[in-house]
Structure 1
Amino acid sequence: MVDLRIISYNLRKHAAIGELTELAVSNDVDVMCLQECDTDDLADSVAHLQLIDATSTNRLGLALYARADRYTVQDTKMFSMHRSLHDRVLSPRTSACSRRACTTRRSATTCSSARSTPPR
Structure 2
Amino acid sequence: MTASIYPEATPELARKRRELAPEVQAAFESFGRQVFSDGALPSKTKQLIAVAVAHVTQCPYCIQGHTRAAQRAGATAEELMEAVWVAAEMRAGAAYAHSAIMISALSGEEPK
TM-score, normalised by the number of residues in structure 1: 0.33
- Structure 1 or 2: more strand by fraction: 1
